[in-house]
């Protein structure tokens, strides 16, 4: 991601923060103790010309298992006046929640 202004860099930070939060389990507490709730589920679809692209395999419901943020993708540290980096490389890894078996593959997954 390469924001073109300080305003866009603030939006980029919010996107990264939200993705990190959605990848983490939620801690909930009550009188009986604390428990972890599962991370958020993602439903990923690929589109081509405003229609779902069925030329590549579909993805079942999944969770974000890893998020890697490289704040120096060009090898140089550079920021806007607000301290936000001028470019970021974001790598996301997802894990489908169901085992993909032959019937799923026949159905386009």
Q: Per residue in 50-84, pLDDT tens?
A: 999 999 999 999 999 999 999 999 999 999 999 99
Residue owning tokens 């983490």: 24
Is 80 exceeded by the pLDDT of residue 30?
no
Residue 92's contacts (CB-CB under 8 Å, 6 or more residues apart) are 19, 64, 66, 67, 68
The whole-model pTM stands at: 0.79
Q: Is the pLDDT of residue 34 over 90?
A: no
Cα–Cα dist 28/102, whole Å:
38
């Amino acid at each position: 991601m390469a924001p073109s202004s300080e305003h866009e860099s603030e939006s980029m930070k919010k996107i990264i923060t939200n993705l990190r939060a959605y990848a983490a389990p939620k801690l909930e507490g009550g009188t009986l103790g604390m428990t972890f709730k599962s991370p958020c589920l993602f439903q990923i679809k690929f589109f081509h010309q405003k229609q779902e692209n069925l030329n590549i395999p579909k993805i079942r419901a999944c969770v974000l298992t890893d998020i890697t943020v490289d704040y120096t993708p060009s090898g140089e540290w550079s920021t806007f006046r607000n301290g936000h980096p001028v470019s970021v490389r974001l790598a996301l890894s997802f894990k489908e929640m169901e085992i993909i078996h032959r019937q799923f593959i026949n159905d386009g997954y």
